[in-house]
Amino acid sequence: MEKQEKIVSMFDDIAPTYDTANRVMSMGVDKSWRRKACDLAYGFYAKDSIDKIVDVACGTGDMMDFWKKRSETNGIAVGEIVGVDPSQGMVGVAREKFPKFNYHIAKATEIPLQDSSADILSITYGIRNVVEREAALGEFNRVLKQGGLVVILEFMKNENPSLLGKIRDFYMNKILPKIGGFISNNLEAYEYLPNSIEDFSTVANMQNELRAAGFEIVYTKSFSMDISTLIIARKK
């Protein structure tokens, strides 16, 4: 089984317990990261009416719900929110939780949407699971309108961790997999998380990859001991 297919299969397996494990492991703080990402993106886009928001690697749909709720809070009319994910299991959970949204079972490198059709495209804690990242970023650029925003929330590799960063790494490498493994009964899937972060890009490399794909960086911020990083970039 190729690497991308193995990752998708793993997410199919943990889909039923994914939300519970995430809330416990992040202690709910991921909600504040998602809220900030939405509010900042809406501010940078600066429009009262938005045709389409696409959430790639949408998983069980939480980020889509944040886009909807924060649009209402910010007084922004959003026409359509679309979820894209290759995992049948995850999208099945999302459809049950949020039936009002539209979904596509598809890879980040093969988004079944027209050119220049989306105002905002987000990918939260999913870009490190995309094996062909360069192709995916090119696909994001294709789908976005001119001036549209790509919003990335991710666990980035930290090359020179501070003391707090080392505490973070200990938690994510030693404690978090055991919690997730216990809840999901799939230790391998949650051992994959710290390994995938270690194998992933630094913030600087991610920014450079976005620039190479035709984006300009408009905002970068790391939260909570650099556990999570937000990058917002605009299609040139």
CA–CA dist 80, 92 (Å, integer): 19
Range 29-33 contact pairs with CB under 8 angstroms and sequence separation of 24 or more: 29/224, 30/228, 31/66, 32/223, 33/153, 33/223, 33/224, 33/228, 33/230
Residue 146 DSSP class: E
Q: Binning pLDDT at 50, 70 and 90, where does residue 198 land? A: low
pLDDT in tens, 78-93: 999 999 999 999 999 9
Mean pLDDT within 22-50 = 88
CA–CA dist 82, 61 (Å, integer): 10
Residue 12 CA: distances (Å) to CA of 7, 83, 88, 145? 9, 16, 7, 32
Q: Is 3 left (phi over 0), alpha (psi -120 to 50) or beta?
A: alpha
- The per-residue pLDDT for 24 is 65
Q: Binning pLDDT at 50, 70 and 90, where does residue 193 land? A: low
Mean pLDDT within 69-74 = 98
pLDDT in tens, 155-188: 777 666 677 767 767 777 777 778 777 777 777 7
Domains of the chain from N-terminus onward: 3-156+202-235 (3.40.50.150)
Q: Binning pLDDT at 50, 70 and 90, where does residue 101 land? A: very high
What's the chain's Rg over C-alpha atoms? 17
Residues linked to residue 85 through DSSP beta bridges, in sequence order: 105
- The per-residue pLDDT for 7 is 78
Mean pLDDT within 26-55 = 92
Q: Is the pLDDT of residue 102 over 90?
A: yes
Q: Which of these ranges, 50-64, 107-121, 211-225, has the smallest mean pLDDT? A: 211-225
- The per-residue pLDDT for 27 is 65
Residue 45 CA: distances (Å) to CA of 57, 58, 59, 89, 190? 22, 21, 25, 33, 35
